[in-house]
Amino acid sequence: MELSAATEEPTGFDAPSASRSVVRGYCAAAFCLGLVRLLTFSLVGAMPVGELILLGILAHAILCIALQGRMPVRIPAPRLVTIFAVCQVVGLMSYIFSDLYRNSLPVDMIRGWLRMVFVLLDLGGLALLFGAAPETFVYFQIGSGLSGLSVLVLPPLFGDYWKFGLAYPVTVSVLLVVPFFFGFWPTAAAFLGLGVLHAIMDFRSFGAICVCLCFLLSLRALPRPTRKGLMIFGAVVVALMMPVITKKMFSNTGGRADRSNVERSSMLSAAWEGFVESPIIGNGSWFSNSKVMDNFLLIRAERERLSGGGLGFDNSEAGGASIHSQMLVALAEGGLFGATFFFCYGIFILWAIFFALGDAAWHWTLPSRLFLLVNSFWDLWMSPFSGPVRINLALTVILIAIYWREREQLRTARLRQR
């Protein structure tokens, strides 16, 4: 078992790359970014307050370049970050072409294009923030853990204080405290406990993610070749079983879960059918001049009828609903090229999870990073591509870049040992 010797290997979070004054300022910015995680304001759609902080980081970098001729910090794995940025630019160009071809409404064009542009800006801001020093990630997580206090002032979505207010901050806080003070096996147990807690509180997806992470993290107790083989075998089995898993996931369960299943499955079906009808051009930003959302209402009405009815949907209009799948929305709105970023994103999330469990050194922040990666992979398929998730998309890319940098460090260290 390699856990005790893990600190002798590179962790990806090694030495600060900036002056102490810059590091202190960036740590404060990271804490504030996590603290305002849930807050948005209206500006041609919902804009996260945290993006103002990231724009400030970018402005500081531009000022440093202008006055000192250099970046204030070292960006982790700049080539990889550039690949993601190029993929996002390709997606933006595809969205622009699709909107012009489909004659989308001007306001939806602006919302769709700005959404893509801000992902790029967030990538730059977070690359600077997390490139400054290891502490910035920790401060961001501390702020995220305290973000649940916002429910004392602003009621959460649908009045669900656990699912949309406290679940994420509690999970983040536990994954900071337990690994730091108690180590590896208590952290695995904490994942299991969190999974049970989320299930009791009717947050099924978070419960499943945490239980899954309990078993995934436990693999690190096995020899490296064994755990890698098990992960590859498990991935193949899950891929083959996906049709059965999906059917089971959206089966009728009664009550609010039944309503959620009908709505989500209808969204996914409508987005997929929209993509199949126009796989190259797409249907334009927010489907403003297409039949995708009308089709969603028809599918939802039929599935509500098949489930016995009485779910309380208004099937006369979509009511501003956002389809819950980042990948399928990008495919349906911008076509294959519109989803370029998300193809790259999904592949590299899987790589980062494999590396974190297979080769990465144990570090007390690893469970937090692993949780963010697995949660982001779930969001790729089951959460909307809207304003509040842009920061999380960029955050996940930078975590992947940090692991990519660690991979290079490990390769260099092993070559020197030969």
Give every CB contact of residue 232 below 8 A, 6+ residues apart in sequence: none
Report the distance separating Cα 368 and Cα 264, nearest Å: 28
pLDDT of res. 303:
85
Greatest extent of the chain over all pairs of C-alpha atoms, in Å: 69
Report the distance separating Cα 48 and Cα 55, nearest Å: 11
Structural domain harbouring 40: 6-417
Residue 46 or 391, more confident:
391
Report the distance separating Cα 104 and Cα 17, nearest Å: 45
Residue identified by tokens 């260290």 is 413
Confidence of residue 313 (pLDDT cuts 50, 70, 90): confident
Residue identified by tokens 């006055």 is 67
The conformation of residue 134, written as its DSSP 8-state character, comes to T
Residue 166 or 243, more confident:
166
Task: Indicate whether 2 pLDDT > 60.
Answer: no
Task: Indicate whether 6 pLDDT > 50.
Answer: no
| Within-domain flag for 362 | yes
Give every CB contact of residue 161 below 8 A, 6+ residues apart in sequence: 151
The average confidence (pLDDT) of the chain is 88
Lowest mean pLDDT among 46-50, 122-126, 308-312, 358-362: 308-312
pLDDT of res. 4:
38
Residue identified by tokens 């099924």 is 204
In degrees and rounded to multiples of 5, residue 72 shows phi and psi of -75, -20
Mean pLDDT of 393-406: 96
Task: Indicate whether 120 pLDDT > 90.
Answer: yes
Give every CB contact of residue 415 below 8 A, 6+ residues apart in sequence: none
Which amino acid, residue 258?
A: D
Task: Indicate whether 3 pLDDT > 60.
Answer: no
| Within-domain flag for 1 | no
| Within-domain flag for 404 | yes
- What percentage of the chain has pLDDT greater than the value 70? 92
Lowest mean pLDDT among 144-153, 271-280, 302-311, 406-415: 302-311
Q: Which residues of 297-309 are buried (b: 16+ CB within 10 A; e: fewer)?
A: bebbbebbeeeee
pLDDT of res. 8:
42
Report the distance separating Cα 284 and Cα 318, nearest Å: 17
pLDDT of res. 221:
93
Report the distance separating Cα 373 and Cα 175, nearest Å: 14
- Contact between 77 and 264 (Cβ < 8 Å): no
Which amino acid, residue 73?
A: V
Mean pLDDT of 306-311: 73
pLDDT of res. 248:
67
The conformation of residue 285, written as its DSSP 8-state character, comes to G
The neighbouring-strand residues paired with 390 are: none
Report the distance separating Cα 53 and Cα 144, nearest Å: 15
Q: Which residues of 137-170 are buried (b: 16+ CB within 10 A; e: fewer)?
A: bbbbbbbbbbbbebbeeeebeeebebbbbbbbbb
Count structural domains, the chain: 1
The model's pLDDT over 139-177, given as tens digits with 9 standing for 90+, comes to 999 999 999 888 877 887 777 888 888 999 999 999 999
pLDDT of res. 15:
58
Contacts of the segment 202-209: beta carbons below 8 A, 24+ positions apart: 202/162, 202/163, 202/256, 202/257, 203/162, 203/163, 203/167, 204/257, 205/378, 205/382, 206/163, 206/167, 206/168, 206/171, 209/371, 209/374, 209/375, 209/378
194: left (phi over 0), alpha (psi -120 to 50) or beta: alpha
pLDDT of res. 148:
87
Helices (H), 219-286: 224-249, 255-277
The model's pLDDT over 197-234, given as tens digits with 9 standing for 90+, comes to 999 998 988 999 999 999 999 999 999 999 999 999 98
Confidence of residue 399 (pLDDT cuts 50, 70, 90): very high
| Within-domain flag for 413 | yes
- Written as one string, the DSSP assignment of 142-178 is HHHHHGGGGGGTSPPGGG-TIIIIIHHHHHHHHHHHH
Report the distance separating Cα 94 and Cα 195, nearest Å: 39
pLDDT of res. 398:
97
Closest CA to 30 of 117, 175, 132: 132
pLDDT of res. 178:
97
- SS3 category, 41: strand
Report the distance separating Cα 364 and Cα 178, nearest Å: 9
Degrees to nearest 5, angle at CA 67 with 62 and 70: 65
The model's pLDDT over 16-39, given as tens digits with 9 standing for 90+, comes to 667 888 999 999 999 999 999 888
Lowest mean pLDDT among 3-12, 230-239, 318-327: 3-12
Confidence of residue 256 (pLDDT cuts 50, 70, 90): low
The model's pLDDT over 61-79, given as tens digits with 9 standing for 90+, comes to 999 999 988 899 999 999 9
